[in-house]
Structure 1
């Protein structure tokens, strides 16, 4: 089995990546292949795994991910930095088992006549204006839904619903729902301007399109990546037909991840 190791530059992560590489090279039927892997092991935290996903996003239908965390417990990382030997043993016994999560498709049209961009996100995309109020029309399945005014909008996947989306008041959604969520960021609601004022959840048969007032101050982010300084004409979001796959050696249940991340040991308090 071919394995790629994707690490951040931290001292601990670099050390663990080196240790992991040596263990894999010693193992029968395992080999390091950074170009055409079957398994990608990220070493770091959730940010490192997001970077690994985008590095290999053209191979998502062919690879599975495994995450080792070298700091605080990550949402996508099941293995601790002290468990390299146990992980390698699991790799040796691999039989193709996996669990998959939805991804977000993003299509961007530009007002400068340039070719459209097509991106994919694991967690979320945000669209906001750096200076002043963002003004945009929001369409659901091609029908005008609202005229938005505010700081911006966050469009998230179910697994991404625990990230930026949660911090702006969005709901946490199980990845068993193949849906996307739209949450407002500091919307303006008064006697003149009005938005829905709450998160909305969109099924896979529908899409969200944002048509902003064109401005070079508008910024689009998707996971850790950024598009700026281009006049965006419209952005279309929908659930992707592609999914991300994780090797299910001891993959933590989604709601256990949520509890571990946001509630922790308080469940055991008297």
Structure 2
């Protein structure tokens, strides 16, 4: 029998709390150890937002942990198990040594004008840069070469798994997570006889990087996944594919395009 050290991360809805209590009881009964500090496996109970929170809680241990999502609501992109399948999940945890499937992450580094230390983040989905009061102006460098001067509401940089989130809503492409690349998408860019940008999403290869050099960052808002960073005088933001990857336990891993179809299209009658 396989015995694992398992951490459980959950949201606070009444139904999720009931499912979490049931899951914890079943895991202990099966001989697994609940270890929130040094787990081998992290089980997220809730939705995609809960799994994002779990990822950030254990982002410093990505070489040691795998993730599983149990969904207590509608079908999500990061959740392979439903709340009524706990017995099946625990049976596989207890009887099978499983492999993992890995997905790319976004490396985010923010440099400030006031001399503060550079901040470093990992993102599973995306990072968004916006101005809240007026047009954002930023020079976009690709692999240290100036590509364009952007003027508009903002920019989104996403991972392949994040391509189905905010990126898709602003006209970005959906990328399969086996594509080791990041995507840059514009948010309401200004394009006229005076100001001009490419106006299309760009897919950046793993050996390249993006740097946004802000022309005026007094009211610049930056997010990393669901977290909003404190507004400060930002000089530049550097993006590239991270060396780290997230590992999902593949006891039962739903095909990516099936996730996309189920989320955006639904059942198709043949």
TM-score category (smaller protein): over 0.9
User: C-alpha displacement at 1:228, in angstroms?
Assistant: 2.8
- For the Cα contact (< 8 Å) 1:66–1:247, is it kept in 2? yes
Residue 6 of structure 1: aligned partner: 9
Q: Equivalents in 1 of 2:127, 2:211: separation in Å?
A: 13
Write out aligned runs for 1:34-45 (5 A): 34-45=36-47
Residue 20 of structure 2: aligned partner: 17
- Which residue, 221, 224, 227 being the options, matches 2:226? 224
Residue 106 of structure 2: aligned partner: 104
Write out aligned runs for 1:205-216 (5 A): 205-216=207-218
Which deviates the most, 65-74 or 91-100? 91-100
User: C-alpha displacement at 1:90, in angstroms?
Assistant: 1.2
How does the TM-score come out when normalised to structure 2?
0.97
Residue 205 of structure 2: aligned partner: 203
User: C-alpha displacement at 1:215, in angstroms?
Assistant: 2.5
Q: Equivalents in 2 of 1:80, 1:96: separation in Å?
A: 19
Q: Equivalents in 2 of 1:93, 1:37: separation in Å?
A: 18
Write out aligned runs for 1:248-263 (5 A): 248-263=250-265
How does the TM-score come out when normalised to structure 1?
0.97
Once the two structures are superposed, what CA deviation does each residue of 1:153-179 show, in whole Å capped at 9, x if it has no partner? Answer: 000000100000000000001111100
Tell me the matched-pair count: 267
- For the Cα contact (< 8 Å) 2:217–2:235, is it kept in 1? no
SS class of match (2:50): helix
SS class of match (1:41): strand
Once the two structures are superposed, what CA deviation does each residue of 1:132-166 show, in whole Å capped at 9, x if it has no partner? Answer: 10000000000000000000000000010000000
**Structure 1 unmatched ranges of 5 or more:** none
RMSD between superposed Cα atoms in Å: 0.8
SS class of match (1:132): coil
User: C-alpha displacement at 1:210, in angstroms?
Assistant: 0.2
Write out aligned runs for 1:48-59 (5 A): 48-59=50-61
**Structure 2 unmatched ranges of 5 or more:** none
Which deviates the most, 85-94 or 248-257? 85-94
- For the Cα contact (< 8 Å) 1:24–1:88, is it kept in 2? yes
SS class of match (1:91): helix
Q: Equivalents in 2 of 1:176, 1:93: separation in Å?
A: 28
